[in-house]
Amino acid sequence: MRKKDFTILFTAFLFVATAFAWAENVSEANSRSAVGSTDAASGPIELARDKNESSSAFLSPARMSDKPGIAVIFEGTDDLHYYASEETAPAGYRLKLEAKSDSFTFGDVVYPQWGIFFDKALSKSVEVYSGNFSVFIPIAAVSAMSDADQLIKLVDVEVKVSGIACTSTICLPPFVNTLQTKIDWSQRESWKQISFETVSETKRPSAGPGYSVWFALCLALLAGLSLNIMPCVWPVLPLIVMRIVEQAKQGRRQSATLGLAFCLGILLFFASLATANIILQLFYGSVLQWGDQFRNPAFVAGMALLLVVLALFMFGLFTFAVPSSIATKSGSGKGYPGAIGMGLLAAVLSTPCSFGILAASFAWAQTQNLWMGTLAIMTIGLGMALPYAILTSMPALLNRLPKAGQWMEIFKQAIGFILLLIALKLIAALPEIRRTSVLYFAVVLCFCIWMWSGWVTYNTQPLRKWLIRIIALVLAFASGWAFLPAPAAELIEWQDYDAAAIETANAESRPVLVKFTADWCWNCEVVEKVVYRRKDIAELIAQKDILAIKADTTLADYPAALALKNKYKEPGVPVTILYIPGEEEPVRLHKIFFRNKLKELLENLPSKQ
Q: How far apart are CA 550 and CA 494, in angstroms?
A: 6
Q: Is 202 within the bounds of a domain?
A: no
CA distances from 356 to 118, 227, 441 (A): 11, 12, 34
CB 600 within 8 A of CB 582: no
Q: How do residues 356-374 score in pLDDT, each as one tens digit? A: 455 555 556 655 667 777 8
Yes or no: say if 183 and 155 are a contact pair by the CB < 8 Å rule.
yes
User: CATH number of the domain that 77 lies in?
Assistant: 2.60.40.1250
Residues 29 and 52 in one domain: no
Residues 112 and 173 both lie in one domain: yes
589 φ/ψ angles, rounded to the nearest 5 degrees: -115, 115
251 and 381 both lie in a single domain: yes
CA 24 to each of CA 18, 20, 27, 29, 30: distance values in angstroms, whole numbers, following the listed order: 10, 6, 5, 9, 10
Per-residue pLDDT, 231: 57
* 569-594 pLDDT tens trace: 988 889 999 999 988 899 999 878 89
The domain boundary residue, chosen from 190, 224, 253: 190
Structural domain contains residue 509: yes
In a domain, 461, yes or no: yes
Q: Are residues 272 and 370 in the same domain?
A: yes
Residue in 288, 275, 295, 243 with CA at minimum distance from that of residue 119? 295
Residues 387 and 513 in one domain: no
Say yes or no: 219 and 364 in one domain. yes
At residue 505, what is the residue type? Answer: A
Of 484, 548, 471, 492, nearest to 516 by C-alpha is 548
CB 339 within 8 A of CB 262: yes
The backbone region for 517, taken as left when phi is positive above 0, alpha when psi lies in -120 to 50, beta otherwise, is beta
330 and 225 in a single domain? The answer is yes
List, for the chain, all residue ranges whose pLDDT scores fall below the cut of 70.
1-42, 91, 119-124, 144-153, 199-213, 216, 229-252, 255, 280-295, 320-335, 349-369, 395-405, 408, 486-489, 608-609
Amino acid of residue 141:
A
Say how many CA atoms lie within 13 Å of 525 toward its Cβ: 12
Question: Would you call 127 helix, strand, or coil by DSSP?
Answer: strand
95 falls within a domain? yes
Q: Omega before 352 cis (within 30°)? A: no
208, part of any domain: no
Query: Has residue 489 been placed in a domain?
Result: no
In degrees rounded to 5, what are phi and psi of residue 83? -95, 140
Q: What angle do CA 547, 550, 556 make, to 5 degrees?
A: 140
Q: Are 91 and 163 members of one domain? A: yes
- Provide the number of structural domains found in the chain: 5
29, 49: one domain: no
- List the end-to-end C-alpha distance of the chain, in Å, as a whole number: 47
Contact of 270 with 378, CB cutoff 8 Å? yes
Residue 473 confidence (pLDDT): 93
Judge whether 198 lies within some domain: no
Backbone angles phi, psi at 608, to 5 degrees: -70, 150
Q: 524-533: long-range contacts at Cβ-Cβ below 8 A with a sequence spacing of 24 or more?
A: 524/573, 524/574, 526/592, 527/574, 527/576, 527/592, 530/592, 530/593, 530/595, 531/593, 531/594, 531/595, 531/598, 532/490, 532/491, 532/492, 533/488, 533/490, 533/491
All residues at 6 or more sequence positions from 210 whose CB lies less than 8 Å from its CB, including other chains:
none
Three-state DSSP at 379 gives helix
- How far is the C-alpha of 531 from the C-alpha of 523, rounded, in Å? 12
The sign one gets for the Cα dihedral 161, 297, 120, 374 is negative
The enclosing domain of 559 has a CATH number of 3.40.30.10
Residue 105 sits in the same domain as residue 161: yes
Residue numbers of the domain that contains 351: 213-429
Domain match, 384 and 460 both:
no
Decide if 257 is inside a domain.
yes
- φ and ψ at 578, to 5 degrees? -120, 115
DSSP state at residue 532: I
Whether residues 506 and 574 fall in one domain: yes
Q: Could you tell me which residues are beta bridge partners of residue 104?
A: 142
Distance between CA 344 and CA 326 in Å, rounded?
Answer: 19
* Cα separation values, 505 from 233, 441, 517, 559, Å: 59, 41, 21, 18
